[in-house]
Structure 1
Amino acid sequence: MDDVVDLLGRWASGRGPLCLLLTTRLRALIDDGILPPGEPPPPPRPARLPAHAARLPSAES
């Protein structure tokens, strides 16, 4: 399951809601036997903020 991102490819480059595009791609990978049904998804990655967003302004202005 380490290659899920690679297997998904450019799933978001289509037209339509992202949730449907992702669901369609995952279903295709399962139907093709690449991802076994019932396989748990990889753990979520921590959100990465841009460097400027990580610095909060001081309340003492």
Structure 2
Amino acid sequence: MEKESLFVPEVRGQAKALALLIAQNVREYFKCEKHRKEFEAWYLSKYGKPYQWVSVSQKKSK
């Protein structure tokens, strides 16, 4: 079941393209071990527990 879009039909394609670009940039950013370590340190200080990395393929199989 697809979620209802908040965008008017004329710009839905652009919104999907932007979302894909953002997701790709985030994925690329976290490929760097330094960036992952910085995020893990921030997460631990914010939430008091270590972050558990889960791959996309593991999430889909659940």
**After TM superposition, is the score higher than 0.5?**
no
User: TM-score with structure 2 length normalisation?
Assistant: 0.29
Bigger radius of gyration: 1
User: TM-score with structure 1 length normalisation?
Assistant: 0.30
